[in-house]
Structure 1
Amino acid sequence: MKLSRKTAGALAALATVGLLSACTGPATTEKREEITAFPTSWDKPITIDVFDGLANYMGMQEGWFGKLVEDKFNMKLNIIAPNVAGGGDTLFNTRVTAGDLGDLIITDKGQRLEELTEGGLLLDSASFYPAMKNVGRFDAAVDKINEGADGTYAFPSQVSSLKPTEPSEGLDPTFGPYLRWDLYKEAGYPEISTLEDLLPVLKKMQDAEPTAPNGQKTYALSLFKDWDGNMLNNAKQPTTYYGFDEVGFALAKGDGSEYQGILDDDGQYVRALRFFHEANELGILDPDSTTQNYDTLWNKYQNGQVLFSFWPWLGQAAYNTDANVKEGRGFMMAPMDDMKVFSYGAEAYGGKQVFAIGAKAEDPERIAAFIDWLFSSEGALANNSQTQGAAGPEKLTWEVNAEGEPELTELGHKVFFEGDAEVPAEWGGGSYIDGASQLNISAVLPVDTDPNTGFPYSYKMWPSYQAETSNPVTDDWSAKMDAPTTIDYLQKNDQLLVGAGASYTPPTDSSEIETLRNQVKASIVQTSWQMVFAESDAQFDSLLDSLQETAKGLGYDKVLEVDMSKAEEQDAARQAVTAEFGG
């Protein structure tokens, strides 16, 4: 049943709450009266358990964000993070078996949300929804998430009022060929027509700076294994430079114009593997790639030991420090002539995760009020993910200037330019970074417009901030590329391919397909690494032939057929959302 704000009130009297665990299914129910406004204050102090599948912190929320929440809601947040508790599903399964996942739940939509709803672990929040005025601005997303459920069990994340064909990322796309611009400049800005043309350029850059300041050898390229899944994850990244994104064993262009299997002879995945193989033959691929993890790689970027980055949020975030860029060193996007970089469109129906209230929550109304606050201007500015430009509280890290534009305060400058600052006692004291929200999820897309200021929530997109971030690296890049930002450059040159934000969730694999996928992907990942470090082109080709034959024997074609179907469904969803919201 589709419940909009208009119908929620009429159905609120029938809203029910499942009280038994997923093992026993729904049982006793209770009726809740509709509310149209939340209290302005809360007398009884409470502590709620927040089961957060995205959090990288376990324990009580401290610092300025904790104080802000406590001042507004008389509520403390005890964050339960499976990422910290060993990863995997062990903690999730243990709590589900006990029938109480948490009071506030941040989890994946799709199968997991459906299972929790059907198992009676989530509360039907229909009776609170008429009071949730901030969430109500995104009514279409709430309807979509709860489609097919007889109630309102979840609320979106990363939701946006932007058109779904608009990029969601802000100043830089999620993906892109980023290189040490200072060394590229030193090389004379050589032309880069294709991905393969990067190799001699990167070799020239490495030859120019063979040793990092810490005395370690530099490499143009460095890989890691942590994120390998259906394929060697690092080899997926160059495919995004040509408009593709992964759907299992399939690669799908963001506009639905082309689909490939990852083992196609002339496909983009094999092309990327060959690119890495040729880089290794040139001596510009880090031999530690097969054993290091992401943390080790991050440290190498910080130390200047790696010269190319698949993403802005790795190379730039780790290396483009204030000190480095002032001296003219930093990562910027390379001008590759034939690229058409894939971009995730703004999600009209929200991202992959949702907020929900646990069925056994002691004070669900207060939690509903807290969720609603996360969608307000104040909540979004305070809570949004730190990596996406969360500006923090007004009058602490930023303020509106005489021209009516948001700009950073002195403390904001220290935090966002120098890395951290001590927070005044009246705001909670302690380190600003340590006291930031540990939820690690944005309710509203950071590039969306704050209705109170008319500017994006992300401080990185404020004119005042961009004026202050001018430095020798960005100035030279802008002059050479004739654009103020990467997104501007890509849009101006028709080199950005936006996959409309349809919030598509693929159906879960059947047990047969899941079994086949697991054995096939193990073979793909293992052999892909062998191909990268093959001793010759002939060995590379031989390994590819062997992988194709082995994968086929293990059921690759059957799984690929399922993934191709998912890719086509995703494209249909993108077309539908574009038709509904415009683009």
Structure 2
Amino acid sequence: MNKKWKKSFVFVFIAVLLVMMVGCSGNNTNTTQETTTEPSSDKGSTESPTTPSEPVTLTIFGGVESANLNGAFQDDDVMKELEKRTGVKLDFTSNLNISDPAQKMAVMLAGNDLPDIVIFNTLTDQAKVYGAKQAIPLDDLVAEFGPDILKNAGDALQVSKQLSSDDTHALYYLPGGVKQVIFSPLVNENAWNLRWDLYKQLDYPKLDTLDDLLNVMEQMMKLEPTNKAGKKTYGIGINLSDDWGQLMIDRANYNMAGEACCGYNDLYYSMDKKQIVPRISDPNSTFWKSVKFYNEAYKRGILDPESATLKFAALNDKFKSGRYFASTTHWSQAGADQQFIAEGNPEKGFVPLMINNNPNNIYVAAQSINGNQFQMFISKNSKNPEAAMKFINYLYTNEGSELLQNGVEGKQYDMVNGVPIVKDSELDALKSDPKHFLQTGVLKYSHMQRFNPPQNPKGYPSDFMQVPETVKKLATPVQNDFMAHYNYSTINDAFIKIPNYSYDVGKLGSLSAVPGSDIQGKKEQLDAYLVANIAKVIYQKTDADFEKAKNSFLDAYNSKGAKEVFDYFKKSYEDANK
């Protein structure tokens, strides 16, 4: 790999347009190009497999956001090419017209109505999926039809069998995002993002503490009290109506403190202490400092008062319509920067800023070497598990991964001197139409991605948007202005000066309790109590009322077995590391 590329892209993997779930919160080659992985068994690799004349139809849930579907079968460039290469036609019927994937998952599990292939979010679905026992064991299928799974995700499978299985330690769940490192030269998914144009108008005030941030957001609201439609603006909003919305309360703050949060709601991994520490049950944790921050924002009119009832989709709309000035992650803005540009306001946009950070350890480059929170399984309802496994195996190849992320050669990109260069027409379309990806399919199926290495074996970034020639074209006017002001070469120069800015959340996110166990029952009670009651603490009108509400919350939370459950997960993590 060119030395310049190696230096610039050590921890680079774009996450633009990915819709999470949170944040604790999406590859392409042409079938005619040379295969990029060697066969991993005597059966050979399935890169660019020979496909049957009539495609096999497989049903699938969880691989795409419901709002991005126009029917059961998709006809975008990526999906048509995927069918051509694998001989599989995907039926997304179970994904249609749903507003809450976790609720839909619960209904399908209860009715024993799962499709062939299921992708679920462990942050919201882990307990009910594991407990339902509707996944088939995959060891034999992987051994026979999954050579690329074994080659590219062998270690991740062992972690899954240790942490996401039953007493048999059989393989039931296939991890997604294996080898992924989410860090980009143009966005930051794990830090505070602020409207640069307004910050600039304020003459770049200091942003050392969370109090500084409150002051800056308050001043921004005075500069722009309404959006172009005349609707009131706020410094920030939060989607507390979603079960996972509570994870956004301390998002950015725990990242800047050098703590990682993924999976069970009372766990942080402290990069300073190199151990698990309590998130909720410790009254002095980053979580409670963040709750106090939102309480102050509420009292000062900076927090959107509708936050207690907001769903994520509504939050996205408010960002894109210019009603918020700060976010705890770039992806929650849902393409607000592109929306501003499309509307003729290229001077508006968000940039990441260092606020209240740990000088030695921060968590902004999110590794998932052994997988992310989007696990996949083949259900007991599947009538063709062999075809399902062959299809899944293709998702674990470089070629399959890059197809989902970059599109099709000749349509979305061209190979120039052995390097994939995204077409200018594609870049222009992305800038002018935030929904262009719905037509091409590029990054549309991000939750389907199983294998996400930062680099192709041939030396260029697996995400073609990270090829240096393309990066230069992609920077928005706001990003260029920001980098010029601070003399940065990337958006994230300030973050990578911290000695340690990366952590792998794979094992942390895979922790689980035995379905049906006492620990599992207590964990669910704790999680439910947190989701149902945390907004009440935030929406207190005085400091005295806040302290009273906080103490009452903690008394009730701890009385439900918080210490016992925390100790269980802490030991599980320590055992996993052994």
- TM-score class, shorter-chain normalisation, is 0.7 to 0.9
1:306 aligned to which of 308, 315, 324: 324
Using the TM superposition, give the Cα deviation of residue 253 of structure 1 relative to its aligned residue in structure 2, in angstroms.
Answer: 1.9
For these two proteins, the number of residue pairs brought into alignment is 513
State yes or no: 1:286 paired with 2:304.
yes
In the TM superposition, what is the alpha-carbon distance from 1:409 to its structure 2 partner?
Answer: 1.5
Q: Indicate the residue corresponding to 2:546 in structure 1.
A: 540
> Match for 1:87 among 104, 128, 139?
104
Q: What is the rounded CA distance, in whole Å, between the counterparts of 1:519 and 1:112 in structure 2?
A: 13
- Where do residues 219-298 of structure 1 align in structure 2 (5 Å cutoff)? 219-228=234-243, 232-237=246-251, 238-246=253-261, 247-254=264-271, 256-257=274-275, 259-298=277-316
Tell me what 1:440 maps to: 447
Verify: 1:570 aligned to 2:570, yes or no.
Answer: no
Query: CA offsets, 1:270-317, max 9 Å, x none?
Result: 211211122222222222222232222211111111111111112372
* Residues 137 and 172, structure 2, Cα contact 8 Å, conserved in 1: no
Change in 2 beyond 3 A, CA 1:136/1:211: same
Q: CA deviation at 1:468?
A: 0.5
Q: Does 1:174 find its partner at 2:189?
A: yes
Q: Kindly indicate whether the alpha-carbon contact (under 8 Å) linking 2:193 and 2:350 is maintained by their aligned counterparts in 1.
A: yes
8 Å contact 1:48–1:75 — kept in the other structure?
Answer: yes
1:254/1:497 contact within 8 Å kept? no
Does the CA contact (< 8 Å) of 1:324 and 1:330 recur in 2? no
User: Which of these residues, 24, 39, 42, is aligned with residue 52 of structure 2?
Assistant: 42
Which 4+ runs in 1 deviate beyond 6 A? Answer: 108-119, 420-423
Q: Which amino acid aligns with 1:450?
A: N
1:216–1:361 CA distance, 2 compared to 1 (3 A): closer
Whether 1:397 and 2:412 are equivalent positions in the alignment is yes
Q: Distance in 1 between matches of 2:174 and 2:531?
A: 36
Note the C-alpha offset of 1:121: 7.0
> Per-residue CA shift, 1:45-98, capped at 9, x if unaligned?
4222224476534622333233223323333111253685562411133236xx
Deviation by residue 1:437-458 (Cα, 9 ceiling, x = unmatched):
547321222x621224x22222
Which 5+ residue runs of structure 2 have no aligned equivalent?
Answer: 1-41
Output the CA distance in 2 between the equivalents of 1:406 and 1:394.
8
TM-score by length of 1: 0.76
> Which of 484, 488, 511 is matched with 1:483 structurally?
488
Of 543, 552, 557, 1:551 maps to 557
Structure 2 letter corresponding to 1:498: Y
Q: Alignment partner for residue 80 of structure 2, among 64, 67, 73?
A: 67
The answer to whether residue 396 in structure 2 is matched with residue 375 in structure 1 is: yes
User: SS in structure 1 opposite 2:450?
Assistant: coil
Distance 1:241 1:49, change over 3 A: same
Does 2:474 match 1:469? yes
| Contact 2:395–2:401 under 8 Å retained in 1 | yes
Tell me the equivalent position of 1:27.
Answer: none
Bigger radius of gyration: 1
CA contact (8 A) 1:70 1:76 kept: yes
Residue 125 (1) aligns with residue 141 (2): yes
Supply the AA of the counterpart residue of 1:69. L
The CA deviation at 1:396 is 1.2
Q: 1:275 aligns to what SS in structure 2?
A: helix
1:440-519 map, 5 Å: 440-445=447-452, 448-452=454-458, 454-494=459-499, 496-499=501-504, 501-502=506-507, 504-508=509-513, 511-519=517-525
Given the superposition, is the C-alpha separation of residues 47 and 272 from structure 1 closer, same or farther in structure 2, using an over 3 Å criterion? Answer: same
Deviation at 1:566, TM superposition (A): 1.5
Q: Is 1:328 equivalent to 2:344 in the alignment?
A: no
> Tell me, which stretches of 5 or more residues in structure 1 are unaligned?
1-33, 384-389, 424-430, 577-583
Give the AA of the match of 2:60.
V
Could you say which residue in structure 2 is the equivalent of 1:215?
Answer: 230
Contact 2:407–2:442 (CA<8 Å) still a contact in 1? Answer: no
- 1:332 is paired with a residue whose SS is strand
Give me the TM-score of the superposition, normalised by structure 2: 0.77
1:531 aligned partner: 537
Q: Distance in 1 between matches of 2:553 and 2:357?
A: 29
Deviations 1:448-507 (A, max 9, x none): 21224x222223322122110233311222134443334443112347352454465212
Q: Which residue of 1 aligns with 2:371?
A: 350
> What is the percentage of aligned positions where both structures have the same residue?
20
Q: Secondary structure at the match of 1:371?
A: helix
Task: Classify 1:124/1:411 alpha carbon distance in 2 versus 1 (closer, same or farther; 3 Å).
Answer: farther
In 1, Cα distance between equivalents of 2:92 and 2:208 = 48
SS in 2 for 1:190: coil
The structure-2 alpha-carbon separation of the partners of 1:320 and 1:572, relative to structure 1 and needing over 3 Å to count, comes to farther
The aligned residue for residue 21 of structure 1 is none
SS in structure 2 at match of 1:71? helix
- The answer (yes or no) to whether the contact 1:159–1:351 under 8 Å persists in 2 is yes
User: Shift of the alpha carbon at 1:544?
Assistant: 1.9
Which segment is superposed worse, 543-552 or 265-274?
A: 543-552
- Preserved CA contact (<8 Å) 1:41 1:72: yes
How far is 1:158 from its partner? 0.8
Residues 106 and 314 of structure 1, relative CA distance in 2, 3 Å threshold = closer
Contact 2:236–2:303 (8 Å) recurs in 1? yes
Shift of the 254–570 alpha-carbon distance from structure 1 to 2, 3 Å rule, reads farther
CA deviations 1:358-404 (Å, max 9, x no partner) are 56755554433322222233311222xxxxxx2111221011224x4
What CA distance in whole angstroms lies between the structure 2 residues aligned with 1:373 and 1:507?
28
Q: How do residues 153-192 of structure 1 correspond to structure 2 at under 5 angstroms?
A: 155-160=174-179, 167-171=181-185, 172-192=187-207
